[in-house]
Structure 1
Amino acid sequence: MYNVEFTIREPRISWFNKILFSALFSGFCVFVLYIFKSNGVYHRLNKEDTEKVIVFLILLLGILIAFILPIIARHYIHLNFTHLKIRHSYSIGPLVYREKWQNLKDLNYISVFHTKNGYEVNLWYKKHEILNLFVLDDFNEVLEKGFFFSEKLNIDLLDARKRGHHKRINKVIYKETGKVEYLD
């Protein structure tokens, strides 16, 4: 088994999302109870309609889970820099789903670019595959953390804040002085 050397966590889920999901799920349960209670709709249906109602309820539950679960699930990215492994996990309260460890292959570079939400740091691998690591508001903090990842993974750090003007950062100078200079 591989040890987790670094974990990136999504922010906590807001109370509004938790309450919304709870209300929707409670509404679904009340609807099911209404259908199946002793003098409810279910007992007045013929066999063909009963099957349709059950299929409808299963589909409704599937839709509820498919659309609401990603909103309340918290995503974690676990990295092992020693063995170049990555694992994603998702949690909803005490329930946790962990994927298997995967190899980080064909790593290209770490990029830092500006979005409407702040500065985003991505890991580029294979030819054009992207793993969004995190988004922060402060450029200096993002650059420092991007530098950390590029050092640990032994890959280049790219400043892509301006569209079409992507420049590789000279990591030696940044490490020594903390100033950003670009490789030509």
Structure 2
Amino acid sequence: MKNNDKFEISILAKKRSWYELVLAAVFYGIFIYLLGIVIYVLYLGISFILFIKLMTAFVSVGGFCFIYGLTFSATRDIIINVTDSVIITRYVVGSFSYDVKSKVTEFEYVSFFQDKWGEYGTNLWYVKNRHYKMFSFESKEAAYQFCLDISNKLNIDILDATERGNFVWVEKENLK
């Protein structure tokens, strides 16, 4: 058995609730129904003008349904490989997944801030002014706890940027 010395931090998104999955199934069902109609009409051999009208409707309504199906069913997981300095973002829809890899030289700090919608976002900063947007939270405490966990695992500092123009470095020694 091999000794694996890789150190990875996995941040897995929560599972979708049942009503989000039902909505995604409805949107996917409409998309598949419209696709079936297009294939059936192509089989019948209709006029070119009717085909263009049908394709326009399919692209607009079918595209809407497919995008909202993805919105209600997709989850995003983050894997931070500390030994190889790679951030892997994994988008998952059902049993399908797609990985996006970002090469990082050195992690500097993690910050949390309040956006214009009142949510609290978290960023992982690296290489001077580059950052990786992680997750958004509804409460400041949840965003802070997430940043604290990441900070402890990566051994980096925390920046509280919730007040505009008044950024505060959080002292981890004084924490409970």
1:97 aligns with 2:92: no
Question: How much does 1:29 deviate?
Answer: 3.2
| Percent identity for Structure 1 against Structure 2 | 23
| Match of residue 182 from structure 1 | none
**Is the 2:13–2:77 contact (alpha carbons within 8 Å) kept by the matching residues of 1?**
yes
1:161 aligns with 2:162: yes
- The 5-angstrom pairing of residues 115-126 of structure 1 reads 116-117=118-119, 119-126=120-127
Question: How much does 1:34 deviate?
Answer: 4.8
Structure 1 unaligned segments of length 5 or more: list them. 180-184
Structure 2 unaligned segments of length 5 or more: list them. none
SS at 1:19 equivalent: helix
TM-score by length of 1: 0.68
Question: How much does 1:146 deviate?
Answer: 2.2
Equivalents in 1 of 2:50, 2:6: separation in Å? 51
Equivalents in 2 of 1:3, 1:58: separation in Å? 48
Q: Identify which of structures 1 and 2 has the higher relative contact order when contacts are C-alpha pairs closer than 8 Å and 6+ apart.
A: 2
Equivalents in 2 of 1:4, 1:95: separation in Å? 25
Q: What is the letter of the counterpart of residue 5 of structure 1?
A: E
**Is the 1:111–1:123 contact (alpha carbons within 8 Å) kept by the matching residues of 2?**
yes
SS at 1:113 equivalent: strand
SS at 2:165 equivalent: coil
| Match of residue 14 from structure 2 | 11
How many residue pairs align between the two structures?
A: 169
RMSD value, Cα: 3.4
SS at 2:44 equivalent: helix
Indicate the structure (1 or 2) with the bigger Cα radius of gyration. Answer: 1
Question: How much does 1:151 deviate?
Answer: 4.7
TM-score by length of 2: 0.71
| Match of residue 133 from structure 2 | 131
Q: What is the letter of the counterpart of residue 49 of structure 2?
A: D
| Match of residue 23 from structure 2 | 20
